[in-house]
Amino acid sequence: MNQITGTIGRWQGAGLMATTLLGTGVFILPQMTIAVAGSGALLGWLILTLAIIPVALVFGLLASRFPHAAGPAYFVEKAFGRTAGRTIGLIFLLVIPIGAPAAILMTFQFMDALVPLRGGWQLVAELFVVLVLLGLNIRGIQVSAKLQFGLTLAIVSVVALLFGASGLNAEQLESFNQASQPQVNTVMLAMGIGFWSFLGIEAMTHLASDFRRPDKDMLPAILMGTVLVGVIYLACTFLLLMVPSDKTGVAMISAFDYLLSGSFLHGYGANIIGVLGIASGLATVNVYAGSAARLLWSFSKEGILPKYFVVLNRHGVPFRALFTILGAMALVIIMTFYSQHDLEKLIAWSNGVFVIIYLLAMLSAVRLLSKRYLPLIIASCVFCIGIGIALADNMLYAVLLVVVIAPFMWWQKTHLQRKHATIPTPSSE
C-alpha cells in the first residue's frame, strides 16, 4: 500500500476543524482577552472571527481543488516552484515538535482542576498523552475524527447550556453597556492573544486526501468549523463578562458553578470544564501529529527526505513518520521538564512560523485560483501581514528558519538537476 485512502466525511471534517481550533484555549483564551481588554475583548473576538473567514475560505478552496498530503507546501510549490514549497513544508515540520508539546503543557492547566500533578508524575502523564495520540492515529484519522465530532457537540452543548442559564436579563445587559469603552490598543492586544485559537486551519489541508470527497466536503468542513469556533469564543467571552468569575483559576469553571447553582450540576464545573478542556487541547495536538506525519510521508515519497518514512501500515497510516513525530514531541517534553525551560516564548515563535505559512499559501492562491477570488485573497493577505506586524520581534525565529532552509532546498534541487544531467543515456545500437 502506497496511497492514503479517504475515509472522512463532511461532518467529521467539521468536527476535526472545530476541535483543532478550540484546542488549548477554548476555556482559557476568553479569560485572557478580558484581562487585557475588558469589554473590548468581545469586539476583538468579533473582528478576529470575521477577519479569519477569508483565510479559511481560501484554504478550503485550495485544498478542495488540490488535495495533497503536503498541504500548504504543495500549494506554494505549484505556484512558486519546488524550493519555496519545500521550504514551507520543512519549517512546518520543524515547528510541530516544539509547538505541540507546548500545547500539551498548556492543556495540563485543566488537569490542576481535576488531579493536581507535580514533579515526575506530571512528566509521566504528559508522556502518556503521547501514547494516547499514537493510539488515536495508528488506525487512521477517521477514528479520531468521529471522537472529535462528538467532542465538538459536547462543547457546544455546554456553552449553549450556560448561555441559556445566564438568563441575559435587562440588568445584566445594562451593566454591560455601562462598561468602559474599548480602547483600540487593548482590542488589538486581545486579537493578538486570540490569534492562537485560529491556528490549525492549515493543518486540515494536510488531511485533504483523507476525505472521501475532498472536492465537495473540504471547503464546507473548514468553513463550518471556523465559524462555529468563532461563535463559541464569542459566547464564552460574553458569559464571562456577564457573570462574576474567579480571577485566578480557570474562570469558566467558576462561571459554570455560578450559573448552574440551582441545578444538580452545581459543583461539577471543575469536572466538566476540566475534562472538556483537556480533551479539546489533546484534539489539537492530535490533528497536528497526523498532519505532520502525512507531510513527512509526502516528502519521503518525493525523495526530499529519506525513503524510510514512505511505508504505510494496513490502515493507510504512515506509521514510521508518525512514530518519528511523536518521538520528537516526547523528547522535547522530557528536555523541557529537566531543563525547567518555559515554552511560552516558543509558542510566540511558532505563531510567527504560521504567519509565513498562511501568507505564502494566500499568495499562491493568486496563481492557482480563479481571478474572481482575488478580493478574498487580498483580504486574507492583509490579515496575515497585520498579524505579522503585531508579532513584531517574535517573527525573527520564522525568518531565521526560512533563511537557513531555503538555500539548502535550492542547493538540493540544483544538485539533483546536475546529477541527472550527468547520467549518460543508453544509446541504441
* 172 pLDDT more than 60: no
pLDDT confidence of residue 2: 47
pLDDT confidence of residue 146: 64
Contact 40, 190 (CB under 8 A): yes
Condensed to tens digits (0 to 9), the pLDDT of residues 394-413 reads 788 888 989 988 888 888 77
pTM check: above 0.85: no
d(CA 126, CA 327): 13
Q: How is residue 3 annotated by DSSP?
A: S
Sign of the alpha-carbon torsion through 234, 106, 402, 325: negative
Which residues on neighbouring strands pair with residue 8, listed in sequence order?
Answer: 211
- pLDDT range class, residue 107, cuts 50, 70, 90: confident
Higher-confidence position of 87 and 172: 87
Residue 321, C-beta contacts closer than 8 angstroms, at least 6 positions apart: 292, 293, 294, 296, 297, 300, 309
Q: Average pLDDT for residues 225-235, to the nearest whole number?
A: 87
Count CA atoms within 13 Å of residue 2 on its CB side: 6
Closest C-alpha among 247, 228, 281 to residue 32: 247
C-alpha cell at 121: 508524575
Condensed to tens digits (0 to 9), the pLDDT of residues 182-210 reads 778 888 878 877 877 787 787 777 676 67
Percent composition of the chain: helix, strand, coil (DSSP 3-state, to 5):
80, 0, 20
Closest C-alpha among 364, 357, 363 to residue 387: 357
For residue 274, the Cα-to-chain-centroid distance in whole angstroms is 20
Closest C-alpha among 144, 117, 113 to residue 27: 113
Residue 271 CB coordination number (10 Å): 14
Residue 361, C-beta contacts closer than 8 angstroms, at least 6 positions apart: 58, 59, 62, 72, 75, 76, 88, 202
- pLDDT range class, residue 1, cuts 50, 70, 90: very low
Contact 188, 390 (CB under 8 A): yes
Contact 402, 356 (CB under 8 A): yes
Domains of the chain with CATH codes? 10-418 (1.20.1740.10)
Condensed to tens digits (0 to 9), the pLDDT of residues 294-310 reads 878 888 887 778 888 88
**Greatest CA separation found in the chain?**
95
* 44 pLDDT more than 60: yes
Q: Please report where in the chains the cell 469558566 appears, as a residue.
A: 252
Which residues on neighbouring strands pair with residue 424, listed in sequence order?
Answer: none
* Residues recorded for the chain: 429
